[in-house]
Amino acid sequence: MYFIFRCDCGRVLYAKEGVSTRKCVCGKSLKVKKRRIFKKVESIEEATESVQKMQEEIYGRSTFKKANEIPKKRFLN
Protein backbone atom coordinates (compact mmCIF):
# COMPACT_ATOMS: atom_id res chain seq x y z
CA MET A 1 0.00 0.00 0.00
CA TYR A 2 1.17 3.48 -0.89
CA PHE A 3 -0.22 6.78 0.39
CA ILE A 4 -0.56 9.86 -1.78
CA PHE A 5 -0.36 13.20 0.00
CA ARG A 6 0.80 16.75 -0.48
CA CYS A 7 3.56 18.81 1.03
CA ASP A 8 2.90 22.34 2.29
CA CYS A 9 4.81 23.58 -0.75
CA GLY A 10 2.16 22.00 -2.97
CA ARG A 11 4.10 19.09 -4.36
CA VAL A 12 2.46 15.71 -4.44
CA LEU A 13 4.34 12.87 -2.80
CA TYR A 14 3.83 9.23 -2.11
CA ALA A 15 5.07 7.05 0.70
CA LYS A 16 5.09 3.33 1.17
CA GLU A 17 2.90 2.07 3.98
CA GLY A 18 4.95 1.87 7.18
CA VAL A 19 7.27 4.70 6.21
CA SER A 20 6.90 7.37 8.89
CA THR A 21 8.61 10.33 7.28
CA ARG A 22 9.10 11.43 3.71
CA LYS A 23 11.35 14.24 2.63
CA CYS A 24 10.06 16.55 -0.04
CA VAL A 25 12.34 18.07 -2.68
CA CYS A 26 11.68 21.45 -1.03
CA GLY A 27 13.63 20.17 1.95
CA LYS A 28 10.75 19.69 4.35
CA SER A 29 10.42 16.41 6.22
CA LEU A 30 6.82 15.30 6.41
CA LYS A 31 5.29 12.94 8.91
CA VAL A 32 3.11 10.74 6.75
CA LYS A 33 0.58 10.02 9.50
CA LYS A 34 -0.07 13.71 10.05
CA ARG A 35 -0.75 14.47 6.41
CA ARG A 36 -4.15 14.28 4.82
CA ILE A 37 -4.06 11.22 2.60
CA PHE A 38 -5.62 11.91 -0.78
CA LYS A 39 -5.44 8.40 -2.08
CA LYS A 40 -4.26 4.93 -1.21
CA VAL A 41 -2.99 2.66 -3.93
CA GLU A 42 -1.59 -0.84 -4.06
CA SER A 43 1.47 -0.58 -6.26
CA ILE A 44 4.41 1.71 -6.86
CA GLU A 45 3.26 2.11 -10.47
CA GLU A 46 -0.13 3.40 -9.33
CA ALA A 47 1.57 5.66 -6.80
CA THR A 48 3.84 7.32 -9.35
CA GLU A 49 0.94 7.58 -11.79
CA SER A 50 -1.30 9.21 -9.20
CA VAL A 51 1.42 11.67 -8.24
CA GLN A 52 1.96 12.53 -11.89
CA LYS A 53 -1.76 13.04 -12.52
CA MET A 54 -2.18 15.25 -9.48
CA GLN A 55 0.89 17.28 -10.39
CA GLU A 56 -0.49 17.75 -13.88
CA GLU A 57 -3.78 18.98 -12.48
CA ILE A 58 -1.97 21.44 -10.25
CA TYR A 59 0.84 22.67 -12.46
CA GLY A 60 -0.37 21.79 -15.92
CA ARG A 61 0.83 19.12 -18.27
CA SER A 62 3.29 21.30 -20.20
CA THR A 63 5.44 22.24 -17.23
CA PHE A 64 5.32 18.93 -15.48
CA LYS A 65 8.33 16.70 -15.17
CA LYS A 66 8.75 13.64 -13.03
CA ALA A 67 8.81 14.57 -9.36
CA ASN A 68 12.48 13.79 -9.00
CA GLU A 69 13.30 16.01 -11.96
CA ILE A 70 11.70 19.16 -10.61
CA PRO A 71 14.53 21.63 -10.19
CA LYS A 72 15.03 23.09 -6.75
CA LYS A 73 15.38 26.54 -8.20
CA ARG A 74 13.14 27.90 -10.89
CA PHE A 75 14.96 29.20 -13.91
CA LEU A 76 14.06 32.74 -14.83
CA ASN A 77 14.46 34.00 -18.35
Residues found near Zn ion in the complex (CB under 5 A)? 7, 9, 11, 24, 26, 28
Least distance in angstroms from the C-beta of 63 to Zn ion: 17
Residue with Cβ nearer Zn ion (11 or 51) = 11
* Cross-strand bridge partners of residue 3: 15, 40
Least distance from Zn ion to the Cβ atom of residue 11, Å: 5
Q: Which is nearer to Zn ion, 23 or 42 (CB)?
A: 23
Q: Which residues contact 32 (CB under 8 A, 6 or more apart)?
A: 3, 5, 15, 19, 20, 21, 22
Q: How far is the CB of 35 from Zn ion (least distance, A)?
A: 11
How far apart (Å, rounded) are the C-alpha atoms in residues 25 and 48?
A: 15
